[in-house]
Structure 1
Amino acid sequence: MTSLHPTSRHTGRVDPDVADLFDNVFADWHSRRPAPGVVLELDRDLWARLDELGLTDLASADDADVWTVAELLRAAARYAVPLPIAEHDALAGLLATRAGISCGSGIRTIARLDVYGTDRAVPWASQVDRILVLRPSGDTAFDAWQIADIPVSSCRLEAAADLAGRPRDRLTMTASAGVGTLIGADLAREFFLRAALMRAVQATGALDRIIDLCVRHVTERRQFGRPLARFQAVQHLVADAAAESALAHIATDAALTSLASLGRSGESLDELERAVAIARSVLGTASGVVVRNAHQVHGAIGTTLEHPLRGLTQPVLSWRNDYGTTRDWDLRVCQLVPGEGDGAWAALVK
């Protein structure tokens, strides 16, 4: 089977056979997928296939490996897979395991409630079986949270979708659905940072594929008797996009290294927060450049439902504003980086 993702890009931290398994499963699905619609549907057949392979609980397993989870999420993002893999396992599943909550069976997503018991944009809420709900129980975001795993029937939903056409439904808890298990401030903070980082991981996976599509398009497409790649302006567009994508990868991998070292080698939540803030700030800038340049290179065809570019750029723009906007993370970097001048630069590139 021909893969859309060259194995040479594997980080070296994941077994190549495992990385190829992820790629081949999604490539096989991609070759037989139905034509995409305006609003995407959760593919339960593909989910069952992943479940058979043991790929729906990698993050929450006792021997979970951060890099393997990241490779799975990136592979899914490269193929625009319509599944809540991050929400089910890397976010809800892992948090429930850490909190000692016994979860029911089925596909799960996660909701962060406000004081009124509402979350205005819950990923895949209307199409999953259960929801891990979190509600702040203190005065600030990370004082403490109450959490519980509940069936979707315990919530009131209003259908909506994000920029990419993926369900992002408004959820309101019913009075009968109690939220009782308390988690501490450190676990709540770690969860938020992990969630923000997983969105960066997914976005960098999609950026990979976007660059591949750009290179293929400018190589194959001819204008005025020669390939688009021969035009200097087009070369600059693709080169700038590739450079920004590489920067986002480097920053995200640095944050993954910090997450993998959390609790070991003296790595602290403060250091993880700085790494995540830098990764998300870099991603915010990179994604804007890559998306803009990719659509400029492809022209009108890249905006159609049939072309794969649209199904990649729109999730990137959605993910970069999840768990904090680019502006939020830019400001956080300014707050976290100590000193000025050369001292601030040294801290950023450490």
Structure 2
Amino acid sequence: MPDTISAEAMAESTAETLGALLRKPDVRDAVVHHGSSDQVWTTVVAAGWGEVLLAEPHGGLGLDVDVLGAVLTVAGRFLVPGPVLPHTVVLPLIANAAEDTARKIVTDPSNVRARIAFADVAAANHADDRAPVLDEGSLRGTVRLVRDGGDADRFVVVAQRGSELALVLVPATAPGVTVDRQEGLDVAARYATLHFDDVSELSVLVPAATGLVNRIRDTWRLMLACRLAGASRHLLDAAVAYAKERRQFGKPIGSFQAVQHLLADMAADVLALEALCADTVEAVTARPERLPLEAAVAKAAAARTARSVGEGALQVHGGIAFTREHDVHRWFLSALSMQGEYGDEADLAASVGRLLLGGGEAPWS
């Protein structure tokens, strides 16, 4: 299929470019110590990741989630920093669904190049949180733990507008916006809690967007699964390489049966997750109506697998992997940070069960 070929080609090209870039000492230092890299972000924008889901009439490639899933798997393998998901999922889906004025805003080159964070209370998975309120052109409320919110130029905010959800674009420098930066587990992301105090400098992108917001959340959840599959692959490869090199009692530790069993279990889990993600993006491409269920299943499996494989990689490496600068430590913490985003495996498994048994809609719908 053309899309499948495009997915492989784009993923291969992306892997080559990012691999060479992230091996540079200055780029690695920026990611490890600052959680971002201008060079990496410029490369991501230039590679056209944000154009994959964007419809052709609006200047995009008009492809589907199978292609984007392949790209996001590569992003997980290389722990790519920056607001990748807002630019590859949120902005294209808004542009595809919005009216002309809003579409021009989100596809404007200044917004494509900017760092845009997605401020959605549902991402943090706290049941008591309520979306900021948009009333008479003014935005009020708080969104906690916004991924990439710490160095964002603009925010796409999910706001309550009467009985509907709306999507609003807010500059980070707008009067009434307060950005409280937070330390997070993921060294490749800059978190923040955002406070909106009667913010009126904003653009309403989609005034009645409940259906679109749910689609964004489900697509984001599926792409998180792909990122976690890529991260799991990196952790497995790192553990295998270390087991071949590290010697004890005059032998590589990979020759010990206990290590071999551990690596075999990790490999089985990673292969199963990669197959699940590949099958899921194909299923969703063929039957888009299955996105909520399929995305929930994939994300639940990915969260569980990434944590398990990360713990195995730590065991293989021993104490050296617990230092913050070590790759295994950074990839594992990144995987843990994504575990609860839009639902951890326990929440999603319960929701999937209710959906399959016909017990009502998922809580994110």
TM-score > 0.5, shorter chain as reference: yes
- Which stretch of the first structure deviates more once superposed, 127-136 or 183-192? 183-192
The equivalent of 1:117 in structure 2 is: 141
Q: Please state if 1:160 is matched with 2:182.
A: yes
Aligned ranges 1:100-179 → 2 under 5 Å? 100=99, 101=102, 102-103=105-106, 104=108, 105=110, 106-113=114-121, 114-115=131-132, 117-137=141-161, 144-154=164-174, 155-165=177-187, 166-175=189-198, 176-178=200-202
The partner residue of 1:277 within 296, 303, 324 is: 296
RMSD: 2.3
Aligned ranges 1:67-78 → 2 under 5 Å? 67-78=66-77
The partner residue of 2:46 within 40, 47, 52 is: 52
The equivalent of 1:261 in structure 2 is: 286
Asked if the contact 2:243–2:253 (Cα under 8 Å) also holds between the matched residues in 1, the reply is yes
What SS does the corresponding residue of 1:258 show, helix, strand or coil? helix
| Distance (whole Å) between structure 2 residues aligned to residue 204 and residue 183 of structure 1 | 34
The partner residue of 1:316 within 335, 354, 358 is: 335
Aligned ranges 1:281-320 → 2 under 5 Å? 281-320=300-339
The equivalent of 1:243 in structure 2 is: 268
| Distance (whole Å) between structure 2 residues aligned to residue 85 and residue 198 of structure 1 | 10
Report the CA distance between 1:203 and its aligned residue: 0.8
The equivalent of 1:24 in structure 2 is: 16
**TM-score of the aligned structures, taking structure 1 as reference length:** 0.83
What SS does the corresponding residue of 1:35 show, helix, strand or coil? helix
| Distance (whole Å) between structure 1 residues aligned to residue 53 and residue 115 of structure 2 | 15
| Distance (whole Å) between structure 1 residues aligned to residue 76 and residue 263 of structure 2 | 20
Higher helix share: 2
Q: Deviations over 1:193-250 (max 9, x none)?
A: 1111111111111111111101111111111111111111111111111111222222
**Match for 1:159: what amino acid?**
R
Asked if the contact 1:84–1:124 (Cα under 8 Å) also holds between the matched residues in 2, the reply is yes
The equivalent of 2:84 in structure 1 is: 85
What SS does the corresponding residue of 1:174 show, helix, strand or coil? strand
**Match for 2:180: what amino acid?**
E
- Which stretch of the first structure deviates more once superposed, 41-50 or 159-168? 41-50
Give 4+ residue runs of structure 1 displaced > 6 Å after superposition: none
What SS does the corresponding residue of 2:53 show, helix, strand or coil? coil
Report the CA distance between 1:177 and its aligned residue: 3.9
What SS does the corresponding residue of 1:135 show, helix, strand or coil? strand
1:184/1:91 CA distance change after superposition, 3 Å: closer
- Which stretch of the first structure deviates more once superposed, 33-42 or 327-336? 33-42
Q: Give the length in aligned residue pairs.
A: 319
What SS does the corresponding residue of 1:183 show, helix, strand or coil? coil
Unaligned runs of 5+ in 1: 1-10, 340-350
Unaligned runs of 5+ in 2: 57-61, 122-130, 133-139, 359-365
What SS does the corresponding residue of 1:297 show, helix, strand or coil? helix
Asked if the contact 2:321–2:327 (Cα under 8 Å) also holds between the matched residues in 1, the reply is yes
Report the CA distance between 1:16 and its aligned residue: 4.0
| Distance (whole Å) between structure 1 residues aligned to residue 207 and residue 304 of structure 2 | 37
| Distance (whole Å) between structure 1 residues aligned to residue 67 and residue 83 of structure 2 | 17
